[in-house]
Amino acid sequence: MSTPRYTTLISAAQLAALIASKPETIIIFDCSFDLTDDTAGKRAYNTEHLPGAHYLHLGETLSGPRTGHNGRHPLPERTTLAQALASYGLQNQHQVIVYDTQGGIFAARLW
């Protein structure tokens, strides 16, 4: 069985086609966040999100513990992030779709 070949970026039309024809080949993460209101992203997700998307919070999933010397949102440990993503069903054969409502700045963290 061959593994599907994906490019790094896909268009909205390509995503719509995947959702319609092969939803089992994708996993979608909404990474929306607002640095001035850390509940805004989750509220926006609860109001509206792409079908089947999972929400990843910048401070809870996409950041590691702060030590006082590693910044406001340090990168999480690789194994911790891998376990979190696997808990949503992410597997090697999936096309991962990430987005946010701020032009991609928070989606880039997961990417």
111: its two tokens: 């990417």
Tell me the β-bridge partners of 29.
54, 98
Global pTM? Answer: 0.88
Contact by Cβ (8 Å): 66, 78: no
Contact by Cβ (8 Å): 107, 99: yes
Q: What is the pLDDT of residue 12?
A: 87
DSSP code for 58:
T
Domain boundaries, the chain: 30-110
Contact by Cβ (8 Å): 44, 50: no
pLDDT profile of the chain (111 residues), mean per 10:
66 88 92 96 96 95 93 93 96 92 93 91
